[in-house]
Structure 1
Amino acid sequence: MFVPKAHNPPLAALLIFVASAFLAATTLLAKALGTDTLGAPLHPMQISHGRFLFAFLVIVSAVGIMRPTLRRPHWGLHIGRTSFGWLGITLMFASVAFIPMADATAISFLNPVFAMVLAIPLLKEGVGPWRWLAAAVALIGAMVLLRPTPASFQPAALLALAAAVVIGMELIFIKKLSGRESPIQILLVNNAMGLTIASVAVSFVFQMPSPAQWAALAGIGALMACAQACFVNGMARADASFVAPISYATLLFAALYDFAIFDVVPDAVSLIGSAIILAGGLILVWREARHRQALSR
């Protein structure tokens, strides 16, 4: 019988933070592949296929080395998680080809807000006033980044917003699975199913990548496998509505990578919007820490 991981919020926060660094790096490579940086731009569905292909190879290798005990999967939850995950990452990869990485990441990382709201009816988690305040602050930051005026509105930002909604639903499935199955089994089944879906989708848009593009696709897969391992283990150790906002650290990594590689300097709107979203996450983390300190007295 599978024994769920012990509740450990500090370790969960650290795991999500590390996952954020890996995840931002995958977005960096996706941007290079979706533009002409490494050759003729690849379709987002082909980038998504590479992500699942190489992540699956990494995870199968890990399973072969670790030889964990695998149990009968909950197919319904896995199908839901994988379907939302494939669609969410494809939308995300599409958005970064057109708008700055920091903006796309900031908007798509509204997913903790949607996950928090969905956790109320689906996971029966309590959401107090501080969590609602954090969600409201983050949403305001996203509206700033959307630049909702005729002169500055970026249509591609809607791709990142759609990714946020879809990935928010994926988080719910991850949380449900984390209490039923081991992280390695969740990753193995998810990537096997994701590879199947992505292989069908890419057949309509496939073009032969250059050697550099193959290397970038492999990098995306390996980094995503590491990010998933950290993320699933983090989600298994704390409430989804607490853990998820820590992934806002990806905003910082995305901006740093974008500046270092593509020489993209965030403008004032990007900085303000990202700062507001980050503030929402920090409010929640601070409140949860105070709450747990009070309970331990």
Structure 2
Amino acid sequence: MSIATPQNPALAAALILAATTFIAATTLMAKALGTDVLGTPLHPMQISHGRFLFAFMGISTGVLILRPQFIRPHWGYHIGRTSFGWAGVTLMFASVAYIPLADATAITFLNPVFGMLLAIPLLGERVGPWRWGAALIAMIGAMILLRPTPASFQPAALLALTAAAVMGMELIFIKKLAGREAPLQVLWFNNLLGLAIATCAVLPVWQMPTPAQWGALAALGLLMACAQACFINGMARADASFVAPFSYATLVFAALYDFLGFGAVPDAISVLGAVIILAGAAILAWREGRQRPHDRAPAPAAK
């Protein structure tokens, strides 16, 4: 069964751009919560728990108001997507406490590359020289951002790289789930299952947040709910190859928020690495637009 949505590229672009502002803001909240800005730093698993808790509350409110008719969900795809999504989010939140938001965001833009590579054995997709070249370019950018020298290596950047790989696996399940269920149903089940997983994982490390941290957790979750809603509805209204480049604006907003919130200014290495990663991702998105639908690699996903 598939769900048809009227195509509207202009609206799709606007929705994806709106999603990028929300996504970048969630990383800013995660950085504040993972450092001592708002009190004793919270564990990344507690930050991701807050993300799913308040996002689920926000989306459930929308479900109660709209009262959509849900169909029987594909539990296997939902569980797979949510498990990898939760792990990716947690790793991403852990990384932003130690490295600039722009660096972490740029590295996680490798998730479509990992999704493409995983689609070869898992979905039987074919990868031509253009796509291999795009993947290689993006990986070179990631190596630059990792700063692999004894004097400048950032171990926390490996957290962002692992997050990108895990999110690449999530994209496999998103591709399997795409078109089977309505966007609001996908959002609701994703956050329901994510909350269940995050609740079990946070128990050993949970601590009482300060009032400011409760506010930041609530903001993080609600911003993510808005981002997911914009992203899924944007993806439904245009080809992934068209909307994917607009998602790269997340990097711009992440750098802006990091500067405004923490005074962080990207250095030359950060800019070079980010530009190379985005170049590889852009080539991949352009190439996907020229492929037949069944040959296309998964598109990026909102976290």
Q: Secondary structure at the match of 1:156?
A: helix
1:131-154: CA deviation from partner (whole Å, max 9, x where unpaired):
333322221111100001111111
Residue 278 of structure 2 corresponds to residue 278 of structure 1? yes
Residue of structure 1 in register with 2:135 after alignment: 135
Post-superposition offset of 1:238:
5.4
Residue of structure 2 in register with 1:199 after alignment: 199
Post-superposition offset of 1:222:
0.6
Change over 3 Å in CA distance of 1:25–1:237 after alignment to 2: same
Comparing 71-80 and 243-252, the one that deviates more: 243-252
What amino acid does structure 1 have at the position aligned with 2:31?
K
What amino acid does structure 2 have at the position aligned with 1:177?
L
Comparing 116-125 and 215-224, the one that deviates more: 116-125
Contact 2:137 2:280 in 1 (8 A): yes
Post-superposition offset of 1:280:
2.2
- RMSD in angstroms over aligned alpha carbons? 2.4
Comparing 244-253 and 260-269, the one that deviates more: 244-253
Q: Take 2:144 and 2:240, find their aligned partners in 1: how far apart are those partners?
A: 26
Residue of structure 2 in register with 1:295 after alignment: none
TM-score, with length taken from structure 1: 0.90
Q: Secondary structure at the match of 1:205?
A: coil
What amino acid does structure 2 have at the position aligned with 1:89?
V
Residue of structure 2 in register with 1:190 after alignment: 190
Q: Secondary structure at the match of 1:278?
A: helix
Comparing 113-122 and 97-106, the one that deviates more: 113-122
Residue 159 of structure 2 corresponds to residue 159 of structure 1? yes
Change over 3 Å in CA distance of 1:291–1:123 after alignment to 2: closer
Residue of structure 1 in register with 2:219 after alignment: 219
Q: Take 1:161 and 1:236, find their aligned partners in 2: how far apart are those partners?
A: 28
What amino acid does structure 2 have at the position aligned with 1:217?
L
TM-score, with length taken from structure 2: 0.88
Q: Take 1:31 and 1:58, find their aligned partners in 2: how far apart are those partners?
A: 22
Residue of structure 1 in register with 2:105 after alignment: 105
Q: Take 2:95 and 2:172, find their aligned partners in 1: how far apart are those partners?
A: 23
Change over 3 Å in CA distance of 1:10–1:120 after alignment to 2: farther
What amino acid does structure 1 have at the position aligned with 2:186?
I
Q: Take 1:124 and 1:5, find their aligned partners in 2: how far apart are those partners?
A: 27
What amino acid does structure 1 have at the position aligned with 2:227?
A
Q: Take 2:229 and 2:161, find their aligned partners in 1: how far apart are those partners?
A: 25
Post-superposition offset of 1:87:
0.4
Q: Secondary structure at the match of 2:86?
A: helix
Q: Take 1:80 and 1:74, find their aligned partners in 2: how far apart are those partners?
A: 10
What amino acid does structure 1 have at the position aligned with 2:210?
S
The 5-angstrom pairing of residues 246-257 of structure 1 reads: 246-257=246-257
Q: Take 1:201 and 1:73, find their aligned partners in 2: how far apart are those partners?
A: 24
Contact 2:111 2:165 in 1 (8 A): yes
Post-superposition offset of 1:9:
5.8
Post-superposition offset of 1:236:
3.6
Contact 1:178 1:235 in 2 (8 A): no
Post-superposition offset of 1:233:
2.6
The 5-angstrom pairing of residues 1-297 of structure 1 reads: 2-5=2-5, 11-123=11-123, 127-237=127-237, 243-244=243-244, 246-286=246-286
Contact 1:145 1:274 in 2 (8 A): yes
Contact 1:49 1:195 in 2 (8 A): yes
- Between the aligned residues of both structures, percent identity stands at 73
Comparing 274-283 and 135-144, the one that deviates more: 274-283
Q: Secondary structure at the match of 2:264?
A: coil
Unpaired stretches in structure 2, ≥5 consecutive residues? 293-303
Q: Take 2:210 and 2:134, find their aligned partners in 1: how far apart are those partners?
A: 44
Post-superposition offset of 1:216:
0.4
Q: Take 1:254 and 1:285, find their aligned partners in 2: how far apart are those partners?
A: 21
Q: How many residues align?
A: 292
Contact 1:108 1:160 in 2 (8 A): yes
Q: Take 2:99 and 2:116, find their aligned partners in 1: how far apart are those partners?
A: 26
Q: Take 1:210 and 1:260, find their aligned partners in 2: how far apart are those partners?
A: 23
What amino acid does structure 2 have at the position aligned with 1:231?
F
Change over 3 Å in CA distance of 1:47–1:224 after alignment to 2: same
1:44-65: CA deviation from partner (whole Å, max 9, x where unpaired):
0000000000000000000011
Q: Secondary structure at the match of 2:225?
A: helix
Comparing 223-232 and 91-100, the one that deviates more: 223-232
Contact 1:178 1:232 in 2 (8 A): no
